[in-house]
Structure 1
Amino acid sequence: MTDAAYQADRTALLIVDPYNDFMSEGGKLYEAIKPTADQSGLFDNLRQIIPAVRASGVKVFIVPHHHADPHGHDYDGWQHLNMFMEQGRGYKAFEAGSWGGEFHPEFGPQPGDVVVKEHWSQNGFANTDLDFLLKQHGIQKVVLVGLVANSCIEATGRYAMEIGYHVTLIPDATAAFNEEGMAAAKTNAPFYAHAILSTEEFLKVLPKQ
C-alpha cells in the first residue's frame, strides 16, 4: 500500500514514546524490545527518517506515555488497570525525574517539534491534546513510528483513522516485546492504515524543499 501525495504542511510524523527506557541501552524496557528492534532495523531506520522529515518541512510530533510516579501512586483508587499498567507498577517505566523517563537524545524532541500531552495507556489521542494540536497545524496525514507496534502505534493509528486522518505506518521503524506482537501488528495494519511503507519507500515520497 502506498500514497505518494505527502504535502509538508499537511503531514506530521508521530514519534511514539521515544524514551530512554525504550530506546537506550540500560533502559528498563530496552532489552525487551531489542530483539524485534534489531530485526526490523528500528534504530537505524529512525536515524534516516527523522532528519529527512525535518529537512522536508514535515512537522514532528512527540507522542509520549505517562511518566510513572516515583512513589508508585499512579493508579491508586483505579478500578480497571490493563496488563501493561499492572506490570509497570513494579518497575516504573518512564519514571518522572529519572534518566529512563527522559527523551532519547536522537529520537526525542528538537526545537520546533510539538510535544503532546502524555497518554495513560496506549492511544495517543485518548485524554490528550493530540487531535487539537494536529488540527491547529492543519495536519491531514499522520505517519507513525516508534513503540510499541501492536499497542501504542496500533491504538493511535486506529483512532486517527476513525476520526478522519490519513494514516501511514512504517513497520520497519517500530518494534514490539516479541515476534508475536510484530506479527499481530502486521496482520491488523491493513484494517486501518491507508499506506504501509518501508523506510526506503517513505523517504522516496517525502516532499522536497
Structure 2
Amino acid sequence: MTNHSADTDPILLADNAALVVIDVQQGFDDSDFWGERDNPDAEKNIAALLDAWQATGRPVAMVQHRGNGSPLGVGTPGYELKPEVAQARWDVHITKTVNSAFYGTPDLKEWLDEHGIRQIVTVGIMTNVCVETTARMGGNLGYDVLYPVDATHTFAMAGPDGVVIPATDLSRATVASLHHNRFARVVGTADLLAASGA
C-alpha cells in the first residue's frame, strides 16, 4: 500500500502532476442503456480542472474506451468525447478496451515514467469502474494518486441478487475503499484548483 498524508493536510500539487481524464464520452449520456447517474456537476468540474492544467502547463492524458457492443462503440457518436473535454489540449491520447487506463495504447506507465511524472489526478467516468481501477493500479505502481470524486460520476448497478445499488452509494463505497486502503488521496475539485496556482 502507498502511504499518503492525512487528508486534512494541504494538497501539494507537483509542477508536472498529470491529469488523467478517463472516458468522458458522449455514449454515457444514453440513460436508457446506463440508468440513473449521480453527480450532475462532474463534467463541469472536469472542465475546470482541464482549464487549470492548461493554464499552468501541466500534462494531460486523455483516455477513451473502445466499447464495441455498447454506446461507446468506435465509429459511433457515443465514442466521441463530450464537449466539455473535446477542445482541450492533451499531451497523450490513450485508447483502451478494459477498465484500467494503465492497460491501453500507448502505455500510460511508460509515458509517465518517460516524463518523470510521479503524481497523477484521476477524473472521469465511471467513479467505481474505470476511474477507480486506474487509481488503484496507480497506487499499486507507486504513484501519488489524487482522486477528486466530485470530478467523476457513475450509474446505479445491480448486484448478483438483483438488488440495484444507487449511484451515490457506489460512489461513497469507492471513496471509503480508496481512502481506507490508501490507494489514493480523495480530494475535492475546489481544493485541487486552489493548489494548482491557476
Compute the TM-score of the two structures, normalised by the length of structure 2.
0.80
Q: Is the 8 A contact 2:149 2:186 kept in 1?
A: yes
Pairs within 5 Å for 1:161-180: 161-177=139-155, 178-180=167-169
Given the alignment of the two structures, is residue 13 of structure 1 paired with residue 14 of structure 2, yes or no?
no
Q: Is the 8 A contact 2:54 2:89 kept in 1?
A: no
Distance verdict in 2 for CA 1:18–1:189, change over 3 Å: same
- The answer to which of 168-177 and 47-56 deviates more is 47-56
**Cα displacement string for residues 29-57 of structure 1 (whole angstroms, at most 9, x for unaligned residues):** 5884764022xx21221232111111111
Query: Contact 2:39 / 2:152 at 8 angstroms: preserved in 1?
Result: yes
Percent sequence identity over aligned pairs: 25
Shift of 1:135: 1.3
Q: Which sections of structure 2, spanning at least 5 residues, go unmatched?
A: 1-6, 156-166
Instruction: Give the unaligned 5+ runs of structure 1.
Output: 69-88
Contact 2:62/2:93 (<8 A) preserved: yes
Amino acid at match of 1:15: V
User: Equivalent residue for 1:188?
Assistant: 177
1:130 to 81, 91, 108: 108
Partner Cα distance (1:135, 1:3) in 2: 25
Q: TM-score, normalised by structure 1?
A: 0.76
Q: Is the 1:15–1:144 contact (alpha carbons within 8 Å) kept by the matching residues of 2?
A: yes
RMSD (CA atoms): 2.1
CA distance in 2, matches of 1:33, 1:175: 12
* Count of matched residue positions in the alignment of Structure 1 and Structure 2: 178
Contact map agreement 1:124 1:130 (CA 8 A) in 2? yes
Matched, 1:144 2:90: no
1:72 corresponding residue in structure 2: none
| Native 8 Å contact 1:33 1:175 kept in 2 | no
**Greater strand percent: which structure?**
2
Any conservation in 2 of the 1:158–1:192 contact (CA below 8 Å)? no
Distance 2:31 2:63 in 1: 17
Residues 84-136 of structure 1: CA deviation (Å, up to 9, x unaligned) = xxxxx3xx2211111111112321363443101x2222111125411111112
Distance of aligned partners of 1:3 and 1:168 in 2 relative to their CA distance in 1, 3 Å threshold: farther
Aligned partner letter, 1:54: Q
* Residues 121, 56 of structure 1: alpha-carbon distance in 2 compared, 3 angstrom cutoff: same
Distance 1:29 1:184, change over 3 A: same
Specify the alignment match of 2:39 in structure 1: 37
